[in-house]
Amino acid sequence: MSPQPENPLASSTTRTEDEFTPEERRILLRVAHHSIESAFESGEIPSHPPSPHLAEPRGAFTTIYFQAQLRGCVGYVFPVSSLYHTVAQTARAAAFEDTRFPPLCREEAPELEVSLSILSPLTPIRAEQIEIGRHGLLIAQHGHRGLLLPQVPVEHHWDRITFLEQTCRKAGLPMDAWTRGASIEAFTAEVFCDSDVR
C-alpha cells in the first residue's frame, strides 16, 4: 500500500495519553531526519528498530515544515510495517514524493522541523461519539476513502458536523454521505515534533 499525502497542522493540543517516552520520541524524530538526509548520500533507510515497542506495526504520518511552512506530509493509515520503519519511509516520502511540493533540496534539510502523528488502530464510531481534538476520521463508501487527522478540525475551528462533511469531501463523496450509509471509523493520534523534545 502506498503512503498517503495529508495536510495536517501539527498541534500538541490533540494528544491523548502519552504512549511514547521522551527518549522514544527523540529516537523517532532522529530517524525521520536521518532518513531524509541519507537520501542525499547512501540512500539507505534505517530499518532496525532499537526496541520491541518501536518494532510494533503502527500507522503514522510524518509532516515536515521549512521556515514554518508546510513542506510535505505523507503517512500510512494502516500498520504496514514497524513504527520505526514507517517513520523512516514516510519522512522520506514527505520530503521527496508529496506531489503538492517540489522534491526537497539538500540546503533545506538542516532547517526542517518534523512532526510525527502516531495513529491508534481504526475503530467504527457513531457520529455523535466523535470528539473534536481527540478523534481523526476515515470515511469510506463505494470505493472512495477520505482521512483527516485529529489536528485538522482543531486548527480550522470546525464543529463535529463540519468535520464529518469535510472528511466526506476529502473522500470525493457528497458532503452528507456520512448520513447515507458511508462507514465512519475513528482513531487517535499522539502528535509530537522537534520542538517538544529539545
The Cα-based distances of 152 to 16, 67, 182 in angstroms read: 15, 20, 20
Number of domains in the chain: 2
Instruction: List the single range of 39-53, 102-116, 170-184 with lowest mean pLDDT.
Output: 39-53
Q: Can you give the residue range of the structural domain that contains 93?
A: 4-120+189-197
**111 in the same domain as 84:** yes
Taking only the tens place, the pLDDT of each residue in 167-176 is: 999 999 999 9
**100 in the same domain as 31:** yes
Mean pLDDT to the nearest integer, 36-53: 87
Please tell me the pTM assigned to this model. Answer: 0.79
Could you please report the per-residue DSSP string of 114-175? Answer: EEEEEEPPPEE--GGG--TTT-EEEEEETTEEEEE-THHHHHHT--HHHHHHHHHHHTTS-T
Considering the chain, what is the average pLDDT of its residues?
Answer: 90
Instruction: List the single range of 75-79, 90-94, 126-130, 186-190 with lowest mean pLDDT.
Output: 75-79
Taking only the tens place, the pLDDT of each residue in 19-38 is: 999 999 999 999 999 999 99
**88 in the same domain as 21:** yes
**80 in the same domain as 130:** no
Find the CATH number of the domain harbouring 100: 3.30.700.20
**163 in the same domain as 79:** no
**158 in the same domain as 173:** yes
**27 in the same domain as 103:** yes
Tell me what pLDDT residue 17 has: 65
